Every structure is written in C-alpha cells, then in structure tokens.
Amino acid sequence: HVQLVESGGGSVQAGGSLRLSCEAPGYTYDTYCMGWFRQAPGKEREGVAGIDTDGSTRYADSVKGRFTISKDNAKDTLYLQMNSLKPEDTAMYYCAAAICVWVRGHRVFDASRYNYWGQGTQVTVS
C-alpha cells in the first residue's frame, strides 16, 4: 500500500504562486505514474498534470504554461509548481499514483484509473 501525503496548500492572491509537494515515504516515483488532480466544491474531480516514469509530462489546457509538475526520485517527492494563480484554481488538490499502462495517453486524467490517493491540500486564490 502506498501512502501519499500532500502539503504546501494555502491562501494566495490572484497572480501569486504556490508549490505543492506530495511525499511517499519508502516508495519510489520511478515505479508509478503520478498525477495531480483538483476538486472544487460542487464540481467533479479533474486532472491537472501528470508525469510518467521517464519524466514526460502532460497538462490540462486550463493550467498549461502556468503549472509545472516534477518529481525528485531520490526524495520520493512529487511537486506541482503553480504560478499566475487565478480564482478558478481554487480547489482541494490531490496527488495520485497509478500503474503506468493504465494511465498513459488519453487516460492520464481518468481519476478512476489511479490506485492511490493522498488526503488533499486546499488551495484558495482570491
């Protein structure tokens, strides 16, 4: 069982930045594909960014050019750097892990294909 722990959320003004972290002690990010998802009140969970074991990345159109997903395998930590934040980015953000063959290609933002989830960290942009 993989435990994922997010941190780094908070409140920020529009145009500001935050960096989210997702730690998985004792687990290596060179095994699973990873994703960041978010869910705003009354809305469905949506994929934001994904990263494969080879480091290749994909982004939702709504965050392209503003968000960057990265990972540090040595530290077992996944990151989401969020710049130029907008009020519509306000949501609970979750990191998730999946077996890569299930989420490559167009399935990268299919939340049902991810096996493990963190507890979430709140991001509020005003």
DSSP three-state, residue 105: helix
CB 116 within 8 A of CB 103: no
pLDDT tens-digit map of 83-126 = 999 999 999 999 999 999 989 988 999 999 999 999 999 999 99
16-25 average pLDDT score: 94
Phi-psi region of 70 (alpha: psi -120 to 50; beta: other; left: phi over 0): beta
**pLDDT of residue 36 exceeding 80:** yes
Per-residue pLDDT at 41: 92
65-72 average pLDDT score: 96
Query: Distance of CA 72 to CAs 11, 52, 75, 97, Å?
Result: 25, 13, 5, 15
Which residues, 6+ apart, have CB-to-CB distance to 101 below 8 Å? none
Per-residue pLDDT at 28: 63
